Amino acid sequence: MSSNKNFKSVKQAKGLEVGESVTDFSSKDIFDKTHTLSNLIKNGNVVLIFIRGQWCPFCNKHLKALQEQFYQIYDKGASVVVVTPEKSEFIKSTIEKTGAEFTILYDEDYKIAKAFDVLFLPNKMMRVMYNTVLGAKLKESHSDDTEQLPIPATFIISKEMKVKWRHFDPDYKNRSKMENILANLN
């Protein structure tokens, strides 16, 4: 593993700001289908949500709540895309636990999380807790052994490939709320 000095702390990750341009990206879903943001955005706004993984009870609760109401996002002409650093077999577990019917993408090498400035390295104590208590298997489930994670942020991206709204909170317990997402899709 590289020196921890090369990685951001949770306080150093700031997230893209409202009005900033978003770089196009491509990533694969569990069916090995490649999705690009530029293609996803053609039909309307994209609600992009970063999650830590299938082991995270807060992520699973957030996705279950989203699943129960995501049709309201589609009714407003937008789509939902979830991004995780976990490989396909772990994404399948997320889908089983949450019933998610929206696209979940594997962020190989943390490219998307880096582009959105949500990537950080949890402290050693937190990594040990995630791996032992919650069964995260961060070195096994990610594309490398650095054990980095995304801040579970939500971004609404406009057809112009700009951040229209965001929920960014370094406290992983605080997640975007459906009413705020819907209010900002107009």
Write down the domain spans for the chain: 4-15+28-183
Task: Return averaged pLDDT per consecutive 10 residues of the chain, 186 residues in all.
Answer: 72 97 96 96 95 97 94 94 96 96 96 97 96 95 95 97 97 95 92
Tokens 């955005």 belong to residue: 41
**Per-residue pLDDT, 186:** 74
Q: What DSSP character marks residue 162?
A: B
Q: 85 near 142, Cβ under 8 Å?
A: yes
Give the span between the Cα atoms of 83 and 103, in whole angstroms.
9
**Per-residue pLDDT, 2:** 47
CB half-sphere exposure, 74, CA atoms < 13 A = 11
User: Could you tell me the pTM of the whole model?
Assistant: 0.95
81 by DSSP, 3-state: which? strand
Q: 52 near 127, Cβ under 8 Å?
A: no
Give the span between the Cα atoms of 70 and 14, in whole angstroms.
27
Which CATH number describes the domain made up of 4-15+28-183?
3.40.30.10
**Per-residue pLDDT, 4:** 60
**Per-residue pLDDT, 65:** 94
Give the span between the Cα atoms of 11 and 63, in whole angstroms.
25
**Per-residue pLDDT, 3:** 52
Give 122-128 contacts, CB < 8 A, sequence gap 24+. Answer: 122/10, 122/147, 122/149
Give the span between the Cα atoms of 166 and 88, in whole angstroms.
26
